[in-house]
């Protein structure tokens, strides 16, 4: 680049910039800019022609004004004129202005392209570089059309200087990204590969970036780059720092080029040539060995460069997935980073190990770090690192550790961040579906049936597999369902073997008949009629079974009806009719696992999801009856099976902690009646004094309000989950979450009876403006044994003392029920814990020393004085428990900030127990007197 002479220093520009910096206000700056714009406009429109220096100076001023955020609508033509100058500084400013201010759709593009074409053909390396930089910066389609064929020629020309080759390679890379269809693939592609052997490492670096992008689009055209990339990488890895002195960064030889070469090699499978493969393996082993060496510098730049090459090498090892030794070494190396003090390294290690876990060679090595990953899940402060830990636990899960991993995920779910809870539940559901053996849910075998029906290539294998599995003395009932369904459809595929002849298949299925529940027996009867269609030779045997008194006179109506209808169908129908009625099931519409669908559907659903909803997709009709074939599992027509996903703590409906069967069966209990009796005509009459005549037009709001129940209110001061209210009809549980001044409460209404609750309403009443509570509407009917959820969104406007009241009204047995419960929304729920050391705590304690800021209370202990329980209660209260702050180790010290919409209130507390006298002294200091008194009252009642 030519040197800039003293005469090129633009004094007028320096003065203008100085004036702008000295402006005291925005108005003064705008005034100075407008004055300068008027001056520049007059100069450009004046009669006197401007010389190159003046044009450059004024164009620079316009560029500076634009960078300050002001619009520029003139001067573009003057900048284009600067491109024709033979002075470097004038041409440079012209190109800079165009790169920044000229739109790709500008009318000046044609003039600019002509100037660029002249500079590219000038063979002046400085002018060529300026032109190539401008093309890359603008990157418009017009420029790509004009120069896409010219730039490759410059790149591979033998007389092109190294600096121009670098610019040409990067410019072509930019055009390929913006307009890939305009970059031609020709003979130059073979020649550009040889730039990897160039002596100038800058050219090699730029060429590697270009080849990597082109190889992703046309890998066959750049296969020859593999050997050259390995050779170049080998020279870099084995070289000393002094060998590549100009390209050594903090004692790491050419780290950027090494990373780019490793990425290029990831575009292809492992080399087939043994010598080349061995050389690449040596390079990767050398990189792993260097990672174990003591650092040559304590600077962070050294470790960053070294680790960048290491992680890219590990990515290549994972991509090839062919060298067990390298994979295990990579896993061990990543394991060392799992406890590194640098958060970014822990994140990258977890992310890379997720991929390693999918390799058969390194899966066992990854599993050895399970305890470390679980510990990271519990202790990491960064939520993104915890999310990667969840991903890794999911990836390393197999039959040997599935129980432990699922248990850890469920345990962590209680305290997990809102942003990853949905993903955790999704992963837990998938793992449970994949590895559950003894307790396979209905969802799983539905999904198995769908896959087998839809894939012709697995039907024979599935029939053989279930036939062999059914021969076990004890079989899970869901296995019998799958076996009956698959053998009824595809038993003919294995009937050619005498060991699985039609009669053997039938006898095997029928041997399980008496051990199964009614729905499974109904399915097996459907399989038997299918057998008559598939295997006429067993028709007599099956008809004898259908004729037996145990079937025709069965106490269950469903079994009796099926036996009668199937028997008559087999007797009077011709072979053609049987084949038509009992033809093979058509493929199901492709859909994802019903577990995945349910979890994704949670965002738009307030109520516990019903299995019937997902079944409609499988069956194609709304009432659950099968239109495809009589061989559909009978549960679909008789009842809704339990949903494992709903019982696995759905993310949008966290369940309260309770030992009650009602609260622990969220989503499992379903309606036995398909239609809701809005007038409750089918319900039994009310006992006691309830009237048999129901006034369906009665106004609930006019009813006498119930007494507010506060029995369990104080239990929720230091916890967020539990049973709030319970009587012989209804159980109310809740789980709440708070973040700063906002909260969300999930309230669960459990119907403990076998009768519907109708006209169900629930609302929160707050008569004070300090707290805002918005309740989402609920369904008017709760079926017997079912549970319903309601969400309350809460906002703390300012500090408050009263709690909102939850009013519930419904009809049961013709009688109106009215319940009022105080919702446990207290001021301490809006705490954010604050960590402090001893010096900071007592300094702040002294600042809050005003009499009105302190509240102290001495009270008798109501419970055994256990230090662990006390700690748990203080943490549950919402403050940070500060260890080692108080000089007396028996005292408890905490700090936090109450967040409201209008302000924030800092709070310090000190609890001094006297075990001999069974007394406590509680001292609270806050910046607001009312807050101190309220918090003291709430916390003192807990001990």
Q: Do 431 and 394 form a contact (C-beta atoms < 8 A)?
A: yes
Query: How many residues comprise the chain?
Result: 943
Range in 360-374, 703-717, 894-908 with the lowest mean pLDDT? 703-717
Beta bridge partners of 816: 811
Q: What is the CA radius of gyration of the chain?
A: 38
pLDDT band at 242 (very low <50, low <70, confident <90, very high): low
Report in angstroms the alpha-carbon separations of 891 from 565, 775, 915: 79, 41, 11
pTM, full prediction = 0.53
Q: Give the pLDDT mean for 127-151.
A: 88
Q: From the centroid of its chain, how far is CA 864?
A: 44
Neighbouring residues of 633: CB distance < 8 A, sequence distance ≥ 6: 446, 449, 481, 485, 519, 523
pLDDT band at 691 (very low <50, low <70, confident <90, very high): very low
Cα gap 309→369, rounded to integer Å? 23
Q: Do 130 and 91 form a contact (C-beta atoms < 8 A)?
A: yes
CB atoms within 10 A of CB 840: 14
Report in angstroms the alpha-carbon separations of 23 from 26, 29, 621: 7, 6, 74
88 is in an annotated binding site: no
Q: Do 726 and 719 form a contact (C-beta atoms < 8 A)?
A: no
Q: Do 180 and 219 form a contact (C-beta atoms < 8 A)?
A: no
Looking at residue 182, what DSSP letter applies? G
Predicted local distance difference test score (pLDDT) of residue 594 = 56
Report residue 806 as tokens: 């939850």
Q: Which of these, 805, 595, 829, lies nearest to 705 by C-alpha position?
A: 805
Beta bridge partners of 730: 751
Report residue 941 as tokens: 């009642």
59 is in an annotated binding site: yes
512 is in an annotated binding site: no
Predicted local distance difference test score (pLDDT) of residue 649 = 27
pLDDT above 70: residue 933:
yes
Instruction: Report which secondary-structure segment, H or E, holds 908.
Output: strand 904-914
Predicted local distance difference test score (pLDDT) of residue 686 = 36
Mean pLDDT of the chain: 80
pLDDT above 60: residue 190:
yes
Question: Higher pLDDT residue, 705 or 829?
Answer: 829
pLDDT above 90: residue 393:
yes
Predicted local distance difference test score (pLDDT) of residue 569 = 87
* Rounded percentage of the chain residues whose pLDDT exceeds 70: 85
Q: From the centroid of its chain, how far is CA 32?
A: 51
Range in 173-182, 232-241, 441-450, 746-755 with the lowest mean pLDDT? 441-450
Q: Which of these, 240, 174, 167, lies nearest to 205 by C-alpha position?
A: 167
Q: Do 586 and 626 form a contact (C-beta atoms < 8 A)?
A: no
Cα gap 66→60, rounded to integer Å? 10
Predicted local distance difference test score (pLDDT) of residue 30 = 92
Predicted local distance difference test score (pLDDT) of residue 309 = 93
Predicted local distance difference test score (pLDDT) of residue 450 = 83
43 is in an annotated binding site: yes
Cα gap 892→872, rounded to integer Å? 11
Beta bridge partners of 894: 881, 909
pLDDT band at 104 (very low <50, low <70, confident <90, very high): low
Q: What is the DSSP string of 551-578?
A: HHT-SSHHHHHHHHHHHHHHHHS-HHHH
| Residue position matching structure tokens 């997935």 | 321
Query: Three-state DSSP class for 812?
Result: strand
| Residue position matching structure tokens 């962070």 | 300
Cα gap 762→485, rounded to integer Å? 45
What is the 3 state secondary structure string of 777-789? Answer: CCCCCECCCCEEE
Predicted local distance difference test score (pLDDT) of residue 678 = 30
For the segment 22-57, what is each residue's pLDDT rounded down to a tens digit? 999 999 999 999 999 999 999 888 878 888 888 889
Looking at residue 50, what DSSP letter applies? P
Q: Do 380 and 350 form a contact (C-beta atoms < 8 A)?
A: no
Predicted local distance difference test score (pLDDT) of residue 599 = 47
Range in 550-559, 645-654, 904-913, 921-930 with the lowest mean pLDDT? 645-654
Looking at residue 555, what DSSP letter applies? S
Q: What is the DSSP string of 360-401?
A: TTTHHHHHTTHHHHHHHHHH-S-HHHHHHHHHHHHHH--TTT
Neighbouring residues of 250: CB distance < 8 A, sequence distance ≥ 6: 297, 299, 301, 302, 305
Cα gap 518→566, rounded to integer Å? 17
What is the 3 state secondary structure string of 855-892? Answer: EEEEEECCCCCCHHHHHHHHHHHCCEECCCCCCCCCCE
pLDDT above 90: residue 130:
yes
HSE at residue 96, side-chain half, CA atoms within 13 A, is 16
Predicted local distance difference test score (pLDDT) of residue 941 = 83
Q: Do 874 and 856 form a contact (C-beta atoms < 8 A)?
A: no
For the segment 852-877, what is each residue's pLDDT rounded down to a tens digit? 888 888 888 888 888 888 888 888 88
Cα gap 352→395, rounded to integer Å? 11
Question: Higher pLDDT residue, 666 or 74?
Answer: 74
CB atoms within 10 A of CB 30: 13
pLDDT above 80: residue 618:
no
For the segment 269-315, what is each residue's pLDDT rounded down to a tens digit? 999 889 999 999 999 999 999 888 888 888 889 989 999 999 999 99
Q: Which of these, 325, 401, 414, 412, lies nearest to 369 by C-alpha position?
A: 401
Report residue 123 as tokens: 């063979």
Report residue 289 as tokens: 């060995």
Neighbouring residues of 294: CB distance < 8 A, sequence distance ≥ 6: none
For 738-760, b/e burial (b = at least 16 CB within 10 A) is: beebebbbbbbbbbbbebbbbbb
Neighbouring residues of 6: CB distance < 8 A, sequence distance ≥ 6: none
Beta bridge partners of 920: 859, 913
CB atoms within 10 A of CB 420: 20
Predicted local distance difference test score (pLDDT) of residue 221 = 85
57 is in an annotated binding site: yes
Range in 407-411, 617-621, 925-929 with the lowest mean pLDDT? 617-621
Cα gap 170→203, rounded to integer Å? 10
Q: What is the DSSP string of 647-660?
A: HS--TTSPPPP---
| Residue position matching structure tokens 């080998």 | 234
Q: Which of these, 835, 832, 941, lies nearest to 881 by C-alpha position?
A: 835
CB atoms within 10 A of CB 148: 20
Q: Are strands 708-709 and 815-822 parallel, antiparallel or unpaired?
A: parallel
Cα gap 943→931, rounded to integer Å? 20
Cα gap 446→427, rounded to integer Å? 19
Predicted local distance difference test score (pLDDT) of residue 264 = 93
Report residue 757 as tokens: 């609750």
Query: Three-state DSSP class for 817?
Result: strand
Report residue 520 as tokens: 């499974």
């Amino acid at each position: 680049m030519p040197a800039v002479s003293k005469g090129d220093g633009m004094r007028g520009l320096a003065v203008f910039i100085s004036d702008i910096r000295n402006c005291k206000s925005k108005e003064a700056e705008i005034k100075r800019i407008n004055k300068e714009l008027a001056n520049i406009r007059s100069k450009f429109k004046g009669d006197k022609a401007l010389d190159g220096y003046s044009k450059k100076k004024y164009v620079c001023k316009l560029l500076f004004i634009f960078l300050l955020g002001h619009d520029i609508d003139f001067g573009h033509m003057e900048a284009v004129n600067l491109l024709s100058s033979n002075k470097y500084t004038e041409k440079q400013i012209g190109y800079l202005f165009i790169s920044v201010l000229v739109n790709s759709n500008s009318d000046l593009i044609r003039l600019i392209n002509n100037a660029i074409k002249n500079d590219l053909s000038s063979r002046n390396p400085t002018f060529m570089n300026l032109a190539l930089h401008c093309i890359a910066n603008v990157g418009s389609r017009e420029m790509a059309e004009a120069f896409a064929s010219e730039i490759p020629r410059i790149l591979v020309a033998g007389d092109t200087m190294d600096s121009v080759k670098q610019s040409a390679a990067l410019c072509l890379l930019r055009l390929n990204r913006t307009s890939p269809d305009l970059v031609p693939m020709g003979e130059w592609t073979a020649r550009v590969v040889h730039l990897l052997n160039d002596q100038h490492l800058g050219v090699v670096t730029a060429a590697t970036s270009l080849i990597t992008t082109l190889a992703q689009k046309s890998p066959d055209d750049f296969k020859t780059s593999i050997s050259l990339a390995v050779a170049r990488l080998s020279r870099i890895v084995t070289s000393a720092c002094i060998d590549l002195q100009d390209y050594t960064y903090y004692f790491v030889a050419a780290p950027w080029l090494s990373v780019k070469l490793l990425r290029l090699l990831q575009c292809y499978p492992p080399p087939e040539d043994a010598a080349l493969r061995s050389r690449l393996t040596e390079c990767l082993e050398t990189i792993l060995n260097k990672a174990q060496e003591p650092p040559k510098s304590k600077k962070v730049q050294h470790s960053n460069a070294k680790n960048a090459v290491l992680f890219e090498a590990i990515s290549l090892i994972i991509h090839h997935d062919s060298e067990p030794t390298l994979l295990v070494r990579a896993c061990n190396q990543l394991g060392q980073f799992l406890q590194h003090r640098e958060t970014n390294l822990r994140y990258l290690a977890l992310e890379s190990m997720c991929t390693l876990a999918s390799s058969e060679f390194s899966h066992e090595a990854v599993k050895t770090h399970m305890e470390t990953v679980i510990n990271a899940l519990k202790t990491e402060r960064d939520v993104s690192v915890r999310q990667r830990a969840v991903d890794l636990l999911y990836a390393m899960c197999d039959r040997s550790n599935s129980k432990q991993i699922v248990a850890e995920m469920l345990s962590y779910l209680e305290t997990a961040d809102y942003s990853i809870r949905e993903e955790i539940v999704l992963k837990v559901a998938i793992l449970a579906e994949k590895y559950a053996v003894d307790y396979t849910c209905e969802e799983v075998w539905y999904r198995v049936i769908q896959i087998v029906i839809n894939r012709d290539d697995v039907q024979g294998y599935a029939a053989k597999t279930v036939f062999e599995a059914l021969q076990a003395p004890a079989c899970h009932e869901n296995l019998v369902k799958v076996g009956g369904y698959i053998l009824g459809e595809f038993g003919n595929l294995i009937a050619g073997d005498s060991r699985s002849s039609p009669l053997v298949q039938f006898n095997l299925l029928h041997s399980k008949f008496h051990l199964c529940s009614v729905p499974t027996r109904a399915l097996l009867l459907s399989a038997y009629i299918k057998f008559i269609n598939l295997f006429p030779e067993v028709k007599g045997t099956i008809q004898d079974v259908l004729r037996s008194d145990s079937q025709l006179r069965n106490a269950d109506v469903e079994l009796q009806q099926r036996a009668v209808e199937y028997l008559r169908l087999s007797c009077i129908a011709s072979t053609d009719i049987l084949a038509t009625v009992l033809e093979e099931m058509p493929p199901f519409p492709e859909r994802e696992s019903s577990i995945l669908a349910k979890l994704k559907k949670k965002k738009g659903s307030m109520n516990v999801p019903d299995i019937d909803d997902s079944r409609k997709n499988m069956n194609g009709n709304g009432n659950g009856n099968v239109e495809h074939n009589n061989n559909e599992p009978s549960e679909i027509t008789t009842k809704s099976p339990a949903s494992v996903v709903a019982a696995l703590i759905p993310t949008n409906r966290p369940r309260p902690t309770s030992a009650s069967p009602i609260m622990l069966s969220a989503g499992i209990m379903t309606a036995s009646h398909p239609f809701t009796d809005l007038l409750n005509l089918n319900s039994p009459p009310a006992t006691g004094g309830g009237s048999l005549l129901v006034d369906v037009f009665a106004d609930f709001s006019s009813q006498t309000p119930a007494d507010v129940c506060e029995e369990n209110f104080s239990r929720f001061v230091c916890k967020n989950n539990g049973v709030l209210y319970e009587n012989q009809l209804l159980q109310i549980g809740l789980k709440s979450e708070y973040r700063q001044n906002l909260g969300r409460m999930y309230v669960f209404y459990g119907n403990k009876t076998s009768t519907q609750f109708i006209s169900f309403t629930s609302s929160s009443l707050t008569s004070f403006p300090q707290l805002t509570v918005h309740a989402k509407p609920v369904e008017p009917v709760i079926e017997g044994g079912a549970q319903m959820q309601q969400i309350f969104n809460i906002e703390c406007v300012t500090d408050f003392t009263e709690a909102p009241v939850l009013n519930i009204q419904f009809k049961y047995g013709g009688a109106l029920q009215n319940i009022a419960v105080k919702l446990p929304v207290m001021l301490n729920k809006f705490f954010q814990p604050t960590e402090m050391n001893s010096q900071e705590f007592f300094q702040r304690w002294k600042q809050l020393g005003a009499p009105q800021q302190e509240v102290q209370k001495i009270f008798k202990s109501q419970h055994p004085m256990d230090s662990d329980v006390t700690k748990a209660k203080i943490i549950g209260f919402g403050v940070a428990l500060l260890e080692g702050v108080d000089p007396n180790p028996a005292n408890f010290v905490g700090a936090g900030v109450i967040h409201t919409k209008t302000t924030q209130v800092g709070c310090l507390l000190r609890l001094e127990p006297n075990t001999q006298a069974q007394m406590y002294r509680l001292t609270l200091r806050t910046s607001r007197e009312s807050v101190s008194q309220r918090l003291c009252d709430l916390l003192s009642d807990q001990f």
